[in-house]
Amino acid sequence: MNNYGTPPRIFVKGRGAELWDNEGRRHLDFLCGLAVTSLGHAHPAVTAAIAAQAATLTHTSNLFANEHQAPVAELISELIDSGPGQVLFQNSGAEANEAAIKLARKYQGRGRHVVVSALRSFHGRTLATLAATGQPEKHEPFQPLPEGFRHVVFDEVAELERALGPEVGAVMLEAVQGEGGVNPANDAYLQAVRTICEERQILLIMDEIQTGFGRTGAWFGYQHSGIAPDIVTLAKAIANGFPVGAVWARDDVAACFGPGDHGSTFAGQALALAAARATINSYIQMDAPAVVRNREAALRARLADVAGVDHVRGRGLLLAIELSDGCRGQRTGAEIARACLDQGLILNAVTPTALRIAPPYTVTDAQIDEAVSIVERVLEAR
């Protein structure tokens, strides 16, 4: 179906930050499959884990456990560092958020089922996660959506407070809005939200699907503000490209899911979790947050010289460059991203005037220089 439009390339091979298409053309991947392949393509440890597990045992269903589930859940709980909690595995980000919404509803009970999220947020494409996504133009063709969702302006405490009636059971936020334009929340905002939710016994769900596993220079985006969420949702980079999602919830919240409340045929299977285990262990071994902060500094330093960049926003290796009007000429962000692709650089237009850059954590100084030189060339050729 045509829900993505016509794809501009067919890729056949990847290594680190590089991708080759079916005509042998080399590209620099500064998008990472949308903040997914954070260790780079064909990472040796992840490749070996997938190959070994595929040759051993792939799937047994959730009627049984496998040897990776408990260790991966423990790794996630340690990194989340938000007190004792439990993990539920899923297959994608939308499923993780869907499960988090169900968990919040079960915990809070009927009548306290409303989830408040932010305008310009992105939480997924299933009906409930689309309803949580604060982009009304995406809702229109699919009305009526499930009820019980409300949106407020992002990063404004008073706006949020006004929306919190007794029917509200959860607030769902991204620490940096990824799809909505790479908009970081202020630390003071997240701290205030945490306090308000605490006072009113509202669950705070942090959607860390795009920001998790070091991407922003902390293990999870909320950690910059020092808060402890009640529920955290994960996917994207969790297994470096193997489809895995997860929900972490603090113990007493997690405890309200009993047998039969939720399920998935594939979720948590041995092959997926072997990939997640190798990926997360690799992030820990490399100290991903420190590596990301170092690479962020290199990338920002190189971008500072570029004519036509109005400002750079974001955190860690989840950045957007806002293009000044003069440098864009009559071109849209999408056209500029397309011109970069034709020069061998992959990034995307996250708004009509901004490009998102999210390279792998392993990106080198030489690759940064090459990528930014391409952006410079494209901006000059207006």
Ligand X SMILES: *Cc1c(COP(=O)(O)O)cnc(C)c1O
User: Are the C-beta atoms of 322 and 310 separated by less than 8 Å?
Assistant: yes
Reading across the β-sheet that carries 309-315, which strands appear in turn?
309-315, 318-323, 354-357, 348-351
Q: How far apart are CA 119 and CA 380, in angstroms?
A: 34
Q: Least distance to ligand X from the beta carbon of 94, Å?
A: 3
Element (H, E) at 35: helix 32-35
Looking up tokens 């220089």 gives: 369
Q: Least distance to ligand X from the beta carbon of 97, Å?
A: 6
- Closer residue to ligand X (CB): 178 or 314: 178
Q: How far apart are CA 157 and CA 38, in angstroms?
A: 32
- Closer residue to ligand X (CB): 179 or 296: 179
User: Are the C-beta atoms of 50 and 252 separated by less than 8 Å?
Assistant: no
- With contacts defined by CB under 6 A, how many residues of the chain interact with ligand X? 15
φ, ψ of residue 311 in degrees (nearest 5):
-160, 165
Binding residue for ligand X, selected from 124, 184, 289, 359, defined by CB under 6 A: 124
Stretch that binds ligand X, among 67-75, 88-96, 134-142, 191-199 (CB under 6 A): 88-96
Looking up tokens 């509202």 gives: 202
Stretch that binds ligand X, among 64-72, 89-97, 277-285, 349-357 (CB under 6 A): 89-97
Taking Cα atoms as reference points, which of 230, 130, 215, 133 lies closest to residue 176?
215
DSSP state letter for 110 = T
List binders of ligand X among 146-175 (CB under 6 A): 174
Q: Least distance to ligand X from the beta carbon of 170, Å?
A: 15
- Closer residue to ligand X (CB): 14 or 245: 245
User: Are the C-beta atoms of 178 and 122 separated by less than 8 Å?
Assistant: yes
Q: Least distance to ligand X from the beta carbon of 233, Å?
A: 7
Give the three-class secondary structure for 381. Answer: coil
Q: Does 178 bind ligand X (CB under 6 A)?
A: yes
Q: Does 94 bind ligand X (CB under 6 A)?
A: yes
Phi-psi region of 183 (alpha: psi -120 to 50; beta: other; left: phi over 0): beta
Binding mask 224-253 for ligand X (x = CB under 6 A): -----------xx-----------------
Residue nearest to ligand X (CB): 93
Stretch that binds ligand X, among 1-9, 142-150, 202-210, 215-223 (CB under 6 A): 202-210
User: Are the C-beta atoms of 363 and 297 separated by less than 8 Å?
Assistant: no
- Closer residue to ligand X (CB): 239 or 378: 239
Q: Least distance to ligand X from the beta carbon of 166, Å?
A: 27
Interface positions with ligand X (CB under 6 A): 92-94, 97, 122-124, 174, 178-179, 207, 209-210, 235-236
